[in-house]
Amino acid sequence: MLERHGADVTQAASADEALTILPDARPDVVVTDLAMPMRDGYSLLAAIRSDRQWDHLPILALTAQGRIDDESRAASAGFHAFLRKPIESHDLAAAVARAAKPRG
């Protein structure tokens, strides 16, 4: 979906795989589903943030959950955006582009 909008995408099949490939991939943005087996998106966020070199890496939460408290929990945890499925490709691409913009 993101590649159709010109993004370079590195996919991971699990949170553990994402953590393994993160140093080599050096992404501008991470998009993670919140509901994953073994480690959920919150666990992935915490693991990424435990390494100070990733302090400013934008991480976006993607979920099929739509409750208001889910969005506030994600924001409190430190996600940069909370995106609900189903999501249109242009909306996902726009959220990633906003997150990838240098902060200044």
pLDDT of 102 above 80: no
> Could you give the CA distance from residue 16 to residue 39 in angstroms, rounded to a whole number?
8
Q: Are 29 and 58 in contact (CB under 8 A)?
A: yes
CATH superfamily for 28-100 is Response regulator (3.40.50.2300)
Please answer whether residues 63 and 33 qualify as being in contact, where contact means their C-beta atoms are separated by less than 8 angstroms: yes
Residue 93 is which amino acid? Answer: A
SS3 of residue 43 by DSSP: helix
Alpha-carbon distance of 34 to 45, in angstroms, equals 10
Domain range summary for the chain, segments of one domain joined by + = 28-100
Closest CA to 80 of 38, 35, 28: 28
| pLDDT score of 20 more than 60 | yes
Q: Distance between CA 63 and CA 80 in Å, rounded?
A: 14
* Per-residue pLDDT tens over the stretch 29-58: 999 999 998 999 999 999 999 999 999 999
| Predicted pLDDT at 104 | 55
